[in-house]
Amino acid sequence: MILEELGERWWKRIVRHDLERETTIIKTRGLRPREAIGRPARAGYPLLRGREVMLQAEVRGAYGQAFTDEPSDYVGSLLSLRRTPLNTNRDRAVLVATINATYRYLGLVANSQHCRDEGPELCGKKVAMELSSKLHPDSKVVMIGFQPALAYHISTALNNFRVTDMDSDNIGRVKEGILIEPYTLNREVIT
């Protein structure tokens, strides 16, 4: 699984920087929607509708975030987190948020927190521009998990763009001009 591989790569960096015993604090009071995403131009974000919660991890003053539908608190060393099986959405979100915070602390990424206000719109435009500069307009691109601004801008740049989602309120509906398909088709749309 991709997340296990990411976890292994993360752990090699932890060992290289002697952070194994570093304690990480995961705060999941659930950032309120406006704290997590601000006031974006488009509606439809799961954070705004309360369908997901933003989980935040801190490693030596650096923050990382991840979405989850199973928020909970976690306090422990990076070593104890590495030993945690990734059996639940909660455990997976804790790992992703912590990886993001760790990589921010190490200077490997600059943006480890969700964009806010006009950020999703600007990000959608940049991603669409980047993809259209590197791909033929008829290239097959799939978004797993509907994100309104990204979906809109990518769909205007590429002709063969599909979106899958788990949210039953989205599946089968046209959002931002794109039919949202069920996540059960992920394997099919990727191949």
pLDDT for position 27: 59
DSSP string, 76-119: EEHHHHHTS---SHHHHHHHHHHHHHHHHHTTS-S--S---TTH
Cα end-to-end distance, the chain, whole Å = 17
The three-state secondary structure class of 52 is coil
Cβ contacts of 117 within 8 Å, gap of 6 or more: 37, 38, 39, 40
pLDDT for position 26: 67
pLDDT for position 134: 96
Q: Which residue's structure tokens are 């752990």?
A: 11
d(CA 190, CA 74): 34
pLDDT for position 38: 82
d(CA 101, CA 115): 15
Over the chain (191 residues), the average pLDDT of each successive run of 10 is 90 94 68 77 74 85 88 87 92 93 95 86 94 94 92 95 92 93 90 81
d(CA 165, CA 178): 12
What are the Cα distances from residue 50, in Å, to 69, 76, 93, 166? 9, 27, 16, 15
The separation between CA 93 and the C-alpha centre of its own chain, rounded to angstroms, equals 9
Backbone phi and psi for residue 62, each to the nearest 5 degrees, phi listed first: -100, 135
